[in-house]
Copies of this chain bind each other. A is one copy, B any other.
Amino acid sequence: MENKNIAIGVDVGGTSIKGAAITRDGKVLDVFSLPIRKVGEQDQTMKELVDLINQYLKDHNLNKDNVLGIGLGVPGAIDVDAGIILSSNNLKWFDLHIRDIVSEGTGLPAKIMNDANAATLGEARFGVGKKYKDFIMLTLGTGVGGGIVIDHKLYTGNKDKAAELGHNAIVVDGEQCSCGRRGCLEAYASATALIRDAKRMMDAHKDSLMWKDEKVDGATAFKYAKLGDKYAQEVVDNYIKYLGEGLLNFFNAFRPEAVILSGGISKEGEYLTSRLYKYCKDRQFGFRCTPPVEIVVSELGYDAGKVGAASMFFE
């Protein structure tokens, strides 16, 4: 019998499910991908996922003799102990016993965890997070996810429901958030919010260079801000301000050594982090004796979730 140094990590996203065999030292082998063609069809999607994993295992000579198990990072409101996605508003999945379906379908042990926590755990164990004792992570994508590491360990709170850092209201009665409240950080700092704000600016200013692109996405405002479009610059400045206010809130609460940014918007890299750092440094609480918080970009990128989920088996 071989040494078991491999686990399968699966990241369930809003538009596709991606997975790979992950080695004990965090190496990502061949990635498989399953598009989610239609939301709401949870049984069909699970059947396709199980078939795909079984095919992947067969193709790579992986089986219960050399694989520790399958770790799944999943979205929505979940019950970790029961292995259930209770409710995913984006995917329209409800009471989905995803852990047992995957485990029974493949003959391998399976575990689930919150998707943002999985990405945070990946960074903590194998990415830029290794350097820090205490850090927080923010995923800036369709929504804003969060993760918290305290003393090198993931902090998940009561029933694993902590670290919903996107749902920190920074403007009471502000923009509507997907969670039901108004004014959450997610409603200002997600890619969705950035696209909304770019479109509003474009509607008000038909001479903006942002009109040149066929489609507005999370990169549009940044692209034309760099090209000197003053309207795009205003959108970006505003984005920095609101995200900066959210970061300051977390800095004052956690005083971590660093915040790690991931997700689509984090691809702006230094252009984004240097501006955020300046915004926060000028406004941080506690005068000269408060240590500034490093603002860095995820090292593992989109692999973080898969690696973190798999690493549940590397205890």
Q: Is the CB of B248 within 8 A of A250?
A: no
Residues of B within 8 A of A32 (CB): none
B162 engages A248 (CB within 8 Å): no
> Chain B's nearest CB lies how many Å from the CB of A143?
12
Chain B residues with CB below 8 A from A285, complex form: 161, 164, 167, 179-181
Q: Which residues of B contact A146 (CB under 8 A)?
A: 253
Q: Which of B158, B252, B255 sits near A257, CB closer than 8 Å?
A: B158
**B77–A157 touching, CB < 8 Å:** no
Q: A77-B289, A181-B283 are in contact. Are A256 and B158 (CB under 8 A)?
A: yes
Residue of B nearest to A179 (CB): B285
Which residues of B have CB within 8 Å of A159?
255, 289-291
Report, as a range, how many residues of chain A touch the other chain: 35 or more
Q: How far is the CB of A94 from chain B (nearest CB, A)?
A: 10
Chain A 140-181 near chain B by CB (<8 Å), digits 1 or 0: 000000101010000111111111110111111000000111
* A169→B245 contact, CB < 8 A: yes
In the complex, what residue of chain B is closest to A250 when comparing beta carbons? B253
CA distance A78 to B253 in the complex (A): 16
Check A291/B180 contact, CB under 8 A, given A168-B252, A285-B167. Answer: no
Instruction: Report the bound CA distance from A291 to B159 in whole Å.
Output: 7
Query: In the complex, what's the smallest C-beta–C-beta distance from A284 to chain B, in angstroms?
Result: 9
A286 interface hit (Cβ, 8 Å): yes
* Known interface pairs A287-B87, A289-B78; A253-B172 also in contact (CB < 8 Å): no
A249 adjacent to chain B (CB < 8 Å):
yes
A87–B285 Cα distance when bound, in Å, is: 12
Given the complex, which residues of B lie within 8 Å of A302, measured CB to CB?
none
> Which parts of A238-291 form the interface with B (CB within 8 Å)?
241-242, 245, 248-250, 252-257, 283, 285-291
The contact of A157 among B79, B170, B242, B254, by CB within 8 Å, is: B254
The answer to whether the Cβ of A134 comes within 8 Å of any Cβ in the partner chain is yes
The answer to whether A249 and B289 touch (CB under 8 A), given A162-B254, A181-B283, is: no
Taken together as a complex, chains A and B put the C-alpha atoms of A267 and B117 apart, in Å, by: 38
Query: What separation, in Å, do the CA atoms of A179 and B252 have in the docked complex?
Result: 11
A57 within 8 A of B: no
A-B contact pairs, 10 of them (CB 8 A): A78-B289, A157-B255, A161-B290, A163-B253, A163-B255, A164-B253, A168-B168, A169-B170, A180-B285, A181-B285
A residues with a Cβ closer than 8 A to B are: 77-79, 86-87, 134, 146, 148, 150, 155-165, 167-172, 179-181, 183, 241-242, 245, 248-250, 252-257, 283, 285-291, 293
